[in-house]
Chains A and B, each alone.
Chain A
Amino acid sequence: MDLRYTPEELAFRDEVRAFLKENLPEDVRQRLDNGEYGNKEDLVNWSRILNQKGWAVPHWPEKYGGTGWDPMRQYIFLEETQKWPAPQPLAFGVNMVGPVIYTFGNEAQKARYLPRIANLDDWWCQGFSEPGAGSDLASLKTRAVRDGDHYIVNGQKTWTTLAQYADWIFCLVRTDTQVKKQEGISFLLIDMKTPGIEVRPIVTIDGGREVNEVFLTDVRVPVENLVGEENKGWDYAKFLLGNERTNIARVGMSKQRIARIRELAGKEMSRGRPLIEDPRFLEKLTAVEIELKALELTQLRVVAADAKRGNTGRPDPASSILKIKGSEIQQATTHLLMQVMGPHALPYHDHDIEGSNMPPIEPDYAATAAPSYFNYRKVSIYGGSNEIQKNIIAKAVLGL
């Protein structure tokens, strides 16, 4: 047993850092460091830079553009880019639909979609959840009825993240209503420009515009856009959700936020001294650091086990631990960052109302603190809520 990185891994880490330093525009880094919402342009530009380097989709098989890195290198890359911080790849394409397509799709689909995902030519969104189908995803009702060479799709998706930018949506649709609910679901790729699709924004409690309702009315989808077999969509969805869970631990992001907390707690004053010198505050922060260190090692254990076993496409149920602990730590750090601001967390900085000519309310770095805390309540809800993750562990790991 050796918990240290090998010299080769350390050299690889330095290579990643050097690449980030060289290629990521500083203004993009600063916006992310400051906790601002990522914007489309920054992400598209960065994805293209990565793709040119051949690093846009490290975990994909090499023949589809992957790097051939072992899981440890993939992990190092992920962590370094999150810590930097660099824009994170659009998960809906790179981590979700991409792997589904190269695992279950046909050759024509692979050729058509995969290169465009890697280069972020196509912006994908995830059409799983519906108003009546959240945790109970398999109860989804959006119908797809075969009509010659097409499916006619009718229904409603909701909470669709960044659908306002999307070129494509991958949807779970019901193709058989006569069988057990999991057995009548198919996985369809739908062009967002198809007539009959309407996207309506849902504003989140922090004032953000990241989720949407997507209404589908008589949407004609070519049969060739079915992934894999009809009525086997639930298997592909489970495969996809398992991948989502591992990505949700976000150890690197939490490290970045902790660095940010330390930096800003050095600027904000408490009892006449910088807050970072307040032992009570430091103890709270340090307690989170301990949890994060343990989570990092837990994640590395999952990564190492994966490497040994080879990717079976079946996530270890223990990966639910990563989701639970990862989300708790993200929520703890956003709360701490808000606490750093003290009373200055209160102002709501709305650029729409104020106009850009007003100077920011001081300190300007407080603007995102409370909204991030509010917004990050989502991480224990989406991707399978923490209650659902605990149900999975209880059943699949503990045998209860």
Chain B
Amino acid sequence: MDFDLTEEQSILKDSLDRLLTDKYGFEDRKRHMAAPEGWSAQMWASYAEMGLMALPFAEADGGLGGTPVETMIVLESLGRALALEPYFPTVVLGGSFLRFGGNDDQRAEYIPAVADGSLKLALAQVERNSRYDLHHVETTAAKDGEGYVLNGQKSVVMHGDSADKLFVTARTAGGSRDEAGIGVFLVDAGTDGVSVRGYPTQDGARAAEVTFDNVKVGANDVFGDPENGLPLVRRVVDAGIAALAAESVGVMSAMHALTVDYLKVRKQFGVSIGQFQVLQHAAVDMFVAIEQARSITLYATMMADSEDENERGRAMHAAKAEIGRGGRLCGENAIQLHGGVGMTMEYAVGHYFKRMTMIDTTFGDGDHHLHLLSAGGGLFAAA
């Protein structure tokens, strides 16, 4: 077993951390949030320049041939900065559709554009009644000549208002909760019949409600098997969960660092409050939760590219449940230990807490994944 980063991976981590330390302080972030798109086009360009967008793609497709470890490094750093740019929906989710579901033509057409930062993507999957079930799809895709016609409505499409193109899950056959009969379609956001209503999210990022009203897509906009696209969706979402776990580690460590600093400088009763043992122990509980989150993230990262859907799924359920639990513990303690200051918009720690909370509502909260993992026989019995 080897837990060390390679030299190249260390360089990636250091240079991204340096960029974010320089350019993505809390005040910078406020400015980026206030931009019309809700994030920084300049930072986006810097990420592209560093090669972050090309990272996960095969060299043969014009990428840098990175593994899930590189994605983990990037997301942890972005999490520590609470970065707002649409890296996750474009490169992690969209990129995974291209990598795992794209045919030669599709990869050739889209990967170079993602890799150079010119194409932004999003995933339109959640629906009003789907809650966290990937197979609950009411949006329809009716066969229309060589292509399809899409009708339906998607909710909380992360960065849906920035995306040039949307990956959409839609039903080609069966009832709304059937596992079969789900297809994946790439739809240009400017197509007739697509309407996008963007809004800010609780954690300061952006999302959109997207409506599809008789939207025509061609045969070459279909990704994977249109009759059986669920395994592809699962694979992409699993890659997403591993990345969110990594982001969580960044978010949790940043709020822990802020909290420990605060315990040292805040004085009450003539001493720094870090002298109170009950607060020391709370900070230690946070530390333990972060290390557990980091370990489970490594496990998820190792499994992220696995072809074995069951084995991969179990790792993701475990990771999402663990970061859900530990993330909440960290966030709530971080606020509590700051006292009133933690409750203010002006101070960073609350923003980490909100991001952590919203990560839990993305692709299934901790309870949801605990349920799926236990229903599937748990973690060890299956081994």
Contacts and interface: CB of A to CB of B under 8 A. Distances in A.
Interface in B90-131: 126, 128-131
B365 A339 contact: yes
A344 B153 CA distance: 14
Contacts of A268: 131
Contact of A339 (B133, B202, B367): B367
Contact-size category for B: 35 or more
B340 A158 contact: yes
Contact of B340 (A271, A381, A387): A381
Contacts of B201: 346-348
Contacts of B202: 345-348, 370-371, 374
Most chain A CB neighbours (cut-off 10 Å) among B276, B340, B365, B367: B340
Interface in B333-357: 335-336, 339-340, 342-346, 350-351, 353-354, 357
Interface in A150-173: 158-159
A346 B207 contact: yes
Interface in A108-164: 129, 132, 134-136, 139, 158-159
Contacts of B296: none
B382 interface: no
Contacts of B336: 377, 380-381, 385-386
Nearest to B338: A381
A281 B120 CA distance: 37
A228 to B, nearest CB: 26
Interface stretch (A70-78, A202-210, A229-237): A202-210
A367 B130 CA distance: 18
Interface in A374-392: 374, 377-378, 380-382, 385-387, 390
A382 B344 CA distance: 14
Given A202-B344, A272-B136, A343 B367 contact: no
**Overall SS of chain B's interface:** mixed
B78 to A, nearest CB: 18
A24 B276 CA distance: 47
A280 interface: yes
A347 B353 contact: no
B340 to A, nearest CB: 5
Interface in A39-95: none
Contacts of B383: none
Given A269-B131, A271-B133, A354 B199 contact: yes
B381 to A, nearest CB: 20
B380 interface: no
Given A361-B209, A377-B332, A205 B343 contact: yes
A370 B357 contact: yes
A203 B345 contact: yes
A348 B204 CA distance: 8
A325 to B, nearest CB: 16
Most chain A CB neighbours (cut-off 10 Å) among B202, B279, B354, B358: B202
A270 interface: yes
Contact of A271 (B131, B276, B342, B357): B131
Nearest to B271: A136
Contacts of A38: none
A205 B276 CA distance: 26
Contacts, number: 137
A132 B126 CA distance: 47
Contact of B132 (A211, A343, A346, A370): A343
A203 B346 contact: yes
B367 A387 contact: no
Given A135-B268, A361-B209, A381-B340, A374 B354 contact: yes
Interface string B200-216: 11100001010000000
Contacts of B267: 132
Interface of B: 126, 128-133, 136, 155-156, 177, 197, 199-202, 207, 209, 267-270, 276, 278-279, 332, 335-336, 339-340, 342-346, 350-351, 353-354, 357-358, 361-362, 365, 367, 371
16 contacts: A132-B267, A135-B339, A203-B345, A284-B367, A345-B202, A346-B361, A361-B199, A363-B128, A373-B357, A377-B335, A377-B353, A381-B336, A381-B339, A381-B342, A381-B343, A387-B278
List of 7 A-B pairs having minimum Cβ-Cβ separation, nearest first:
A205-B350, A136-B268, A203-B345, A269-B129, A342-B131, A348-B200, A370-B202
Given A205-B343, A377-B335, A378-B340, 16 more contacts: A135-B269, A203-B346, A205-B354, A211-B343, A344-B128, A344-B156, A346-B201, A346-B202, A346-B207, A347-B201, A347-B207, A374-B353, A377-B342, A377-B343, A377-B353, A381-B336
